Amino acid sequence: MNRIVLALLTYFLFSVVVNSHAAEPRQEPTEKERARTVYIFHQPIVMLQAKFGLTTPEERVLRIRNTLRNFTEADVREPLKIVSVTRYNQPGRLIVMNGKPVMLLTAGDLDEGDDLTLDQAAQRVLARMEAQRSALSVQYNSTMLALSAVKTVAGLLGLVLFWYGAYRSWRWIKRVFRRRIFENRSWIPQRWRRFIGAIETRLYALLMILLGIVALYVWLSWAFSLFPWTRVWGESLGEWSVRVVRDIALSIVSALPGLLIVLIIFLITAFILKLLKMVLNQVEAGRLQLPGIHPETVGATRKLISVVVWLFALSAAYPFLPGANSLAFKGISVFFGLMLTLGSAGVMNHAMSGLVLIYSRALRKGDMIRVADNEGLVSEIGMLATKIITRENYVVTVPNAVVVSGKITNLSAQSTNGGVNLTVGVTIGYDTPWRQVHAMLELAAKRAKGIDLVQPPLVRQLSLMDWYIAYELQVRLLPNVSLADARNELHSNIQDVFNEFNVQIMSPNFVLQPENSVVVPKENWYSAPATPPDGGKS
């Protein structure tokens, strides 16, 4: 091996770099102490402190580095020795290799805090340098280099086989899950098997990828450590992985007390919410009364209290979460706060409107209401919207802000037995006695099905118009009677009664009064294709 290659090898292995250790390692070395440290093969050797004339310790370190570059293979094969000398009127110990001086160590280089003699310090430095020289001299052997190359290739083949085995095992796992789905042989229900099986195969694939990356990292670290040219890289990879594992372990251990406090806070919070739920259940059942809380508002109150209590618990536990004070955690908090601020304006409007509906008790689930042009049964009052089932059996979702901003007509609010008040209007001419009209409307109500006759029908004269009088009939429906069906039944009976007594309903309007009343004779009530209830006998 020529002199240039040897110089490159010794430069990589016996390089002087800035390091955080000295001959007797310091816990937190300064920049000046790092600049005076001799580093061989990434191992701390000695920190020089003595100044010879105008030569500073930093310059002595640079001279040692230039000296190490000029060593040959024959020099590296010879063991290091210590020679007692006197230089600059100071006793010293000169470390030589194959008769060539490497470095001079004097009493001025010793640290008073190390409490070592010059001979003891020299022996320690010699042991560190000799360990690195022995490792390097072995790797200069061509046989060892060839063996290292064979080991590298064998390791690469093993790595490829591991990758191939991981891929084949993943394919086998996919076939197993497919066979289980096809044969329905799984302890997981079949309806979940397809979904969970896909997740499991992907998780296994991710595990194999991670193991493949770890195997590649281990192989690189091991292969680099086999050659003198790349041994520094191998040790760096190994030290980095050990440092990462150590930092992760220390972080986990240091986070355990905080996580224990967080667990205690959440357990106390869950216990408090359990007690509140028991109390609110008693209020909802009517066995307990609390000021400001009604049975119909218990559900919303429970949700609000849960949100407030959990937010308080999260605020109390936040400082104890791992990484709570890190910049990443703070950045995520700012990001979510910004999203909540920008996106919650409309949502909060509907949510607050929902609370207004619930706590004002303007309507409840099961009430018959009229909102704008929607009339139907309230099936759900959510935090953001209210759902109404119309007479067509449609489900209409109305945002709570729209419900609050408009007029709400609750048809069943005053009902005690579940019935609903129904009102219908009719216009009759002035030539018909109003007492007769009252009697006919009451008769139509009594004939209609689904009418609660315990409360007598009520007839009102709403207005005296130009051509007719506007009458209104109000009745109470029996519980669970459809409003649409009752209105249809009542309208049919009104037409029948007015036709029966030969009284004209003044809709549409007439410019001139007709000579004859505009009525339908009784014999024409069931004109084709209509059929009478008795099957055509009437």
- Crossing angle of helices 142-183/190-224, nearest 10°? 180
pLDDT average, residue stretch 400-410: 73
Distance CA 231, CA 220 (A): 11
Residues paired with residue 139 on neighbouring β-strands, in sequence order: none
Task: Give per-residue pLDDT as tens, 28-76.
Answer: 667 776 677 777 666 667 888 888 777 888 888 888 878 877 777 777 7
Closest CA to 477 of 487, 469, 464: 487
pLDDT average, residue stretch 137-149: 73
Provide the b/e sequence for 259-278 (b: ≥16 CB within 10 Å).
Answer: eeebeebeeebeeebeeeee
By DSSP bridging, strand 469-476 and strand 458-464 are antiparallel
Task: Give per-residue pLDDT as tens, 203-217.
Answer: 888 999 999 988 998
Query: Considering the chain, what percentage of its residues have pLDDT values greater than 70?
Result: 73
Task: Give per-residue pLDDT as tens, 305-357.
Answer: 888 888 888 888 877 877 667 666 677 777 677 666 665 556 666 666 666 66
pLDDT band per the 50, 70, 90 thresholds, residue 17: very low
Distance CA 113, CA 203 (A): 55
pLDDT on residue 15: 39
pLDDT at 18 exceeding the cut of 60: no
pLDDT average, residue stretch 455-461: 90
pLDDT on residue 182: 57
pLDDT at 218 exceeding the cut of 60: yes
Helix (H) or strand (E) holding 35: helix 31-35
- 444 vs 48: which has the higher pLDDT: 444
pLDDT on residue 296: 66
Q: CB of 119 within 8 A of CB of 111?
A: no
Average pLDDT, the chain: 76
pLDDT on residue 267: 92
pLDDT average, residue stretch 87-108: 83
Q: CB of 376 within 8 A of CB of 360?
A: no
pLDDT band per the 50, 70, 90 thresholds, residue 3: very low
Sequence-ordered list of residues with C-beta below 8 angstroms from that of 72, at least 6 positions apart, any chain: 3, 6
Task: Give per-residue pLDDT as tens, 235-278.
Answer: 677 777 777 778 778 878 887 888 889 899 989 998 988 888 88
pLDDT average, residue stretch 473-487: 85
Sheet of 374-381: strands edge to edge?
Answer: 395-399, 385-390, 374-381, 368-371, 408-410
pLDDT at 160 exceeding the cut of 90: yes
pLDDT band per the 50, 70, 90 thresholds, residue 459: very high
- 379 vs 361: which has the higher pLDDT: 379
3-state secondary structure of 216: helix
pLDDT at 161 exceeding the cut of 90: yes
pLDDT average, residue stretch 177-188: 62
pLDDT band per the 50, 70, 90 thresholds, residue 441: very high
Helix (H) or strand (E) holding 379: strand 374-381
End-to-end CA, the chain = 127
pLDDT on residue 253: 83
Query: Considering the chain, what percentage of its residues have pLDDT values greater than 90?
Result: 6
pLDDT average, residue stretch 190-195: 62
Instruction: Write out 311-324 in H/E/C secondary structure.
Output: HHHHHHHHHHCCCC
**Which token pair is 385?**
């919207």
Which stretch of 83-92, 161-170, 216-225, 284-293 has the lowest confidence by average pLDDT? 284-293
**Which token pair is 312?**
């308080």
pLDDT average, residue stretch 370-395: 79
pLDDT at 24 exceeding the cut of 60: no
pLDDT band per the 50, 70, 90 thresholds, residue 190: low
Determine whether 137 is exposed, middle or buried from the number of CB atoms within 10 Å of its CB (0-12, 13-18, 19+): middle
Task: Give per-residue pLDDT as tens, 287-301.
Answer: 777 776 766 667 777
pLDDT on residue 460: 92
- 382 vs 202: which has the higher pLDDT: 202
pLDDT band per the 50, 70, 90 thresholds, residue 138: low
pLDDT at 234 exceeding the cut of 90: no
Distance CA 238, CA 235 (A): 5
Reduced to 3 DSSP states, what percent helix, strand and coil does the chain have, rounded to the nearest 5? 55, 15, 30
Task: Give me the amino acid identity at 382.
Answer: G
pLDDT on residue 303: 78
Neighbours of 481 (CB within 10 A): 19
